[in-house]
Amino acid sequence: MADSEGRTTRTTVRTITDLARLAGVSPGTVSRALAGKSLVNTQTREKIEALAREHGFRPNQMASGLRRQKTGVIGVVIPLGHDTRQQISDSFFMTLLGYLADELTTHGYDLMLRRVVPETDPDWLDRFIGSGMIDGVIVIGQSDQFERIEDVADGYRAMVVWGNHTEGQRHCVVGTDNRLGGRMAAERLIAAGATRLAFLGDTGPMEFAARFAGAQDVAARMGLSPILPLPTHLSPNRASAEIAQHLAVHGHAIDGIFAATDTLAALCLTELRAQGLAVPEDVKLVGFDDLPVARQTVPALTTVRQDIAAGARGLVDLLLRRLAGETTESFVLPPELVLRETA
């Protein structure tokens, strides 16, 4: 094709109307053809498809979304605690995010990622939902926002949350049975010979609280003294110093540590060595998550496994069902103890 000055010009076709003009049909027909509806003559459809391919045309998703009142996008939001840097780079969340991306893609959805700091933005969840940009939302981690999530759940169905399940809660959640996982960890530590236990990690977030409670159950049942909580930030740079401090104070008063995550466990292992405490001889150690790092530490980490891939599948599956109008129950995954060398 050549314009009046003789240059070859690929007529730019941006809209469905442009394409319709080229094909000699109406925009409506083009829309139907591209959407693969059955009401279009086969020849017409093929002609339109050919033209679309030739000009690399794709219908504008904003306009389409506006008209159809759905966007094909699922929001994934990570509420961060006080410790801003904390979780977004945390292996566990990132791994889960990776699987979610896979799973959503497979089902034809795009993923919109948002990290929020509820403390400075109390309106975080409504804002995301009300933006009109997403068909549904997956919340990764309840953090300390349980109540707000509950409130929203009453009026908004297209939401699924990764986190801990509490009896009678109103929002749909997918997550590991943290309390049971905590019991497993404590049982293992005790079976390995430990009697004075500590819990490494913040007990504020619900998941961690449940893990701690589970361990506490066992300690109480076995008649041991209560488990010593050693609160610690999750960001690696702060955690190391805090762990070192904890060990300096309590290192010789304890002989079993249940770490809230493998990341903390790995750091703890380094600090234990630095302070001359042998694992598992002097101190037994159990982690949580079974991240790749658990296999690589020396000695390799005994830990409670969460099936992250299954979790991602569950989140997406439940969300899609809810989008389709079903009512869904929460989905609790069983933890699994992985025996390695630290306990």
Partner DNA sequence: ATTGCTGTTGCAATCGTTTGCAAGATGATT
Partner DNA sequence: AATCATCTTGCAAACGATTGCAACAGCAAT
Contacts to DNA by CB under 7 A: 14-17, 24-29, 31-32, 34-35, 39-42, 44, 59-60, 63-64, 66-69
User: Is the separation of the CB atoms in 286 and 188 below 8 Å?
Assistant: yes
> Per CB under 8 A, which region of 99-107, 175-183, 201-209, 327-335 contacts its own copies?
99-107
- How far apart are CB 167 and its own copies at their closest, in Å? 29
User: Which listed residue (113, 220, 248, 278) binds its own copies by CB under 8 A?
Assistant: 113
> Per CB under 8 A, which region of 106-114, 176-184, 315-323, 335-343 contacts its own copies?
106-114
Residue labelled with tokens 């020849």 = 43
Q: Which long-range contacts (CB under 8 A, 24 or more apart) does 320-324 make?
A: 320/107, 322/136, 322/157, 322/158, 322/159, 322/160, 322/172, 323/135, 323/136, 323/158
Name the residue nearer to its own copies (CB basis): 77 or 230: 77
- How far apart are CB 300 and its own copies at their closest, in Å? 9
DSSP track, 130-171: HTSS-SEEEEE--TT-HHHHHHHHHH--SEEEES---TT-SS
- How far apart are CB 253 and its own copies at their closest, in Å? 25
User: Which alpha helices (H) appear in the chain, and where do they start and end?
Assistant: 16-23, 27-34, 42-54, 61-68, 91-106, 124-130, 146-155, 178-191, 206-221, 236-250, 262-274, 293-296, 308-323
User: Which listed residue (102, 151, 217, 282) binds its own copies by CB under 8 A?
Assistant: 102
Q: Cα 29 vs. chain centroid, distance in angstroms?
A: 41
Contact partner, 9, from DNA, its own copies, none, Cβ < 5-8 Å per class: none
User: Which listed residue (18, 47, 88, 317) binds its own copies by CB under 8 A?
Assistant: 88
User: Which listed residue (292, 334, 339, 341) binds its own copies by CB under 8 A?
Assistant: 292
- Spatial neighbors of 326 by CB under 8 A, at least 6 apart, are none
- Could you give the CA distance from residue 138 to residue 145 in angstroms, rounded to a whole number? 14
302: tokens are 């005994």
User: Which listed residue (37, 58, 107, 170) binds its own copies by CB under 8 A?
Assistant: 58
DSSP state of 2: B
Binding mask 139-178 vs its own copies (x if CB under 8 A, - otherwise)? ----------------------------------------
120: tokens are 């400075």
Name the residue nearer to its own copies (CB basis): 228 or 323: 323
Residues forming a β-bridge with 122: none
User: Is the separation of the CB atoms in 241 and 304 below 8 Å?
Assistant: no
Contact partner, 297, from DNA, its own copies, none, Cβ < 5-8 Å per class: its own copies
> Per CB under 8 A, which region of 138-146, 218-226, 262-270, 333-341 contacts its own copies?
262-270
Contact partner, 89, from DNA, its own copies, none, Cβ < 5-8 Å per class: its own copies
With binding defined as CB under 8 A, does residue 269 bind its own copies? yes
Name the residue nearer to its own copies (CB basis): 224 or 279: 279
Q: Which amino acid is at 48?
A: I
User: Is the separation of the CB atoms in 184 and 337 below 8 Å?
Assistant: yes
Name the residue nearer to DNA (CB basis): 44 or 275: 44
> Per CB under 8 A, which region of 29-37, 53-61, 225-233, 323-331 contacts its own copies?
53-61
User: Is the separation of the CB atoms in 279 and 272 below 8 Å?
Assistant: yes
Q: Given the rule CB under 8 A, which residues bind its own copies?
A: 56-63, 65-66, 71, 73, 88-89, 91, 94-95, 97-99, 101-102, 105, 110-115, 126-127, 130-133, 236, 263, 266-267, 269-270, 273, 292-293, 295-298
